[in-house]
């Protein structure tokens, strides 16, 4: 399987299927800062306007969800995160922000691990410019 930067747990995939059924195509933007920051925010696709200040980390392909779910992060934040692999998980909680899952009594959560040297080499080769904003 190809190396990727972002993945999703089985539990989070179940939730994404439900949310996509209700809200249609989805997107994530990883937040920073206080309160509910440092958490992934899930929106209807296009709700959050990404731009040159953002990086698309990858697309989540979830069985039963038609459209791939792009995962975005601000480019400045990516500079500090790019050596880590992210997995979107879900936990019981009372999330805030305008993320879609909060009313369900659950919250998306990022779990992280270090990318291996081999993974980094492969990603570096693929992402000559790791800012594919034009592909939006």
Rounded CA-CA distance 56/74 in Å is 9
Residue written as tokens 């909680």?
A: 93
Rounded CA-CA distance 116/122 in Å is 10
Decide: is 56 part of the binding site for another protein (CB under 8 A). Answer: no
Decide: is 38 part of the binding site for another protein (CB under 8 A). Answer: yes
Pick from 7, 48, 119, 120: which binds another protein (CB under 8 A)? 48
- 3-state SS of 85-128 is EEEEEEEECCCCCCCCCHHHCEEEEEEEEECCHHHHHHHHHHCC
Pick from 8, 70, 99, 123: which binds another protein (CB under 8 A)? 99
Binding span for another protein by CB under 8 A among 10-18, 57-65, 69-77, 119-127: 69-77
Site for another protein in 6-35 (CB under 8 A): 29-35
DSSP 75-88: HHHHHHHTTEEEEE
Pick from 61, 84, 121, 127: which binds another protein (CB under 8 A)? 84
Q: Least distance in Å: CB of 70 to another protein? A: 14
Positions that interact with another protein (CB under 8 A): 29-39, 41, 43, 47-49, 74, 76-77, 80-81, 84, 91-100, 102-103, 107, 109-114
């Amino acid at each position: 399987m190809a190396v990727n930067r972002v993945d999703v747990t089985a539990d989070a995939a179940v939730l994404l299927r439900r949310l996509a059924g209700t809200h249609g195509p989805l997107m994530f933007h990883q937040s920073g800062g206080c309160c509910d920051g440092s958490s992934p925010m899930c929106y209807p696709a296009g709700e959050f306007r990404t731009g040159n200040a953002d990086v698309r980390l990858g697309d989540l392909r979830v069985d039963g969800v038609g459209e791939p779910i792009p995962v975005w992060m601000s480019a400045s934040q990516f500079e500090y995160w790019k050596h880590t692999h992210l997995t979107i998980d879900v936990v019981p909680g009372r999330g805030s922000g305008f993320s879609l899952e909060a009313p369900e009594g659950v919250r998306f959560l990022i779990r992280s691990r270090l990318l291996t040297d081999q993974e980094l080499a492969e990603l570096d080769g693929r992402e000559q410019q790791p800012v594919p904003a034009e592909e939006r």
